[in-house]
Structure 1
């Protein structure tokens, strides 16, 4: 009997199937240090225990996206090991901060299936929950991924495409217990801009760029234990290139957004996301943002800002789609998220 695991193929998924993902992971300060080494991440709440404690938290949490990457990485051997591409995200919410010493695991439910017209691949929709050692939900989100078929003659399943919310209502965002920006230190945070300084429709060019390196991508992919073959094995693509992990692009763009959005501290909602075009080693990632919405919260001095974060590999800023409605070929990422910011 074979003891190795080739991963699931499209015909292996069933609607309503629950998958408990293997190998829980205890996170530590090492994750924070490596995250900040890989990306130019400088948001104060994630850099300083003292700043976090002044904001009502027990200490500085692990970066929200680092927690997301750990939870996501657990799912890869079961959901996207044989993926062609990770297509999108929706309905993501961070429920609890993650601190050094927390142990994270993941579980997913298959909520949709759709075979593609070529008969060789299909799209699998899953809702994933990340839990800590107390079985508390740290975050949950929906993603959909294109997966190869093992047998192209296998019958297509009944098509079920889930109806997903276009965005999370500000009232449904979870504000960490105790969080307050009543005595927020704008000098230490790095910029003076508060929520009231931003207007809906405003666009921000984050100016800086980072050229993606093969070695850094490989460290990041291994750090999050993402085993998807397209990120490691160049023979899985006809062009012989290893696809840069989409989470690497997300974190790079978020870190670049510090310049202009230094006070968009905690990510609490993921409304939508698409990896518009592939990213490869040698591409230079730049980013721009658009303010989509602004809201107050129940926490002292804390507001919520909804942002579109766009990562590009060239071209002029603020270009998203062409006249045909398709993403501009220079656009790598289109991410719609909520962050918490001082009023």
Structure 2
């Protein structure tokens, strides 16, 4: 048998490292397509001249575009037979990615736990994205619910890794040379600085985008994500293709420009949950909450810890969970991240 049905829960072994195919050299094409798919307008990722004015050699590839490339490599080995992608933790962007860089991925299994129904289990992996020099450009933990193929396969010893609830300011890696002392607020689009944001403040980003199947399919193919639930309309009983969670993340991040135009670089991912499924026809809007602020050693650079919440049409303003502690049905995404912003 030469074709690959993908891994099932019983195929994973604690501690094994999986090197994922296929390396990918990124170019300006990824940026152009990213900007075509999402209303992405952050100046640092739109202009070489602006990025050079901030101390970088050129405009990097969007942090989330680099994440999607690294993530997409892992899908055939980690989540091809997934029921759901459950969460993220301890994510860090360690080096900017520039056009011409070649990215590859590898994942280490750090936890396994079979579900009580015996039909699936949760696989925890730590994934690293590496460039052509074998420098680690990012790493993150995610956990995925994966189907079993052989229901009588014995359950492994349950191991659930201890993960930080959030990364601290001391864990953040600031790109070499980044300097916001000469930051051009007019060209960036908003005047708001680090000191203008208060912990506990909530921001309604106002704008919305209706998700289309065609755009989602282009995006998922762009990132070479082969998960069946995103492509095959016969894979789900309802006949719907599930919108890739990363598509919702990028859409919400782009929409957050209105109110957070100067939150330029994502440097850490503390946690994330795809709270409810998203399908074509849903209209996505978002809001943010400022969770923390921190100084950084880079000149003119501060850090904001932000909660980004994506919701669909009909959601109540700033509503997240019900009295039972569960996400409300119109909440799509709850993402906790650190971003760099001028002081």
Normalising by structure 2, what TM-score? 0.99
1:187-266 equivalences under 5 Å are 187-266=186-265
Q: Secondary structure at the match of 2:21?
A: coil
Aligned to 2:184: 185
**Which residue of 1 is the match for residue 53 of structure 2?**
54
Map of 1:132-171 to 2, 5 A cutoff? 132-171=131-170
2:123 match: 124
Q: Which residue of 2 aligns with 1:91?
A: 90
CA distance in 1, matches of 2:66, 2:266: 11
1:236 alignment partner, SS class = coil
Q: How far does the alpha carbon of each residue in 1:227-280 deviate from its partner, in whole angstroms, 9 at most, with x for none?
A: 000001112111110000000000000000000000000000000000000000
Once the 2 structures are TM-superposed, how far is the Cα of residue 50 of structure 1 from its aligned partner? Answer: 0.3
Which secondary structure does the structure 2 equivalent of 1:22 belong to? Answer: strand
- The equivalent residue for 2:342 is 342
TM-score (norm: length of structure 1): 0.99
Give the corresponding residue for 2:333: 333
Tell me the CA shift for residue 317 of structure 1: 2.0
- Residues paired across the two proteins, number: 342
Q: Distance in 1 between matches of 2:187 and 2:221?
A: 33
What do you get for the CA RMSD once the two structures are aligned?
0.4
Residues 272-297 of structure 1: CA distance to partner in whole angstroms, max 9, x if unpaired? 00000000000000000000000010
Structure 1: gaps (5+ residues): none
Name the counterpart of 1:294: 293
Task: Quote the residue 2:324 is aligned against.
Answer: 324
Give CA-to-partner distance per residue, 1:48-68, whole Å, 9 cap, x none: 000000000000000000000
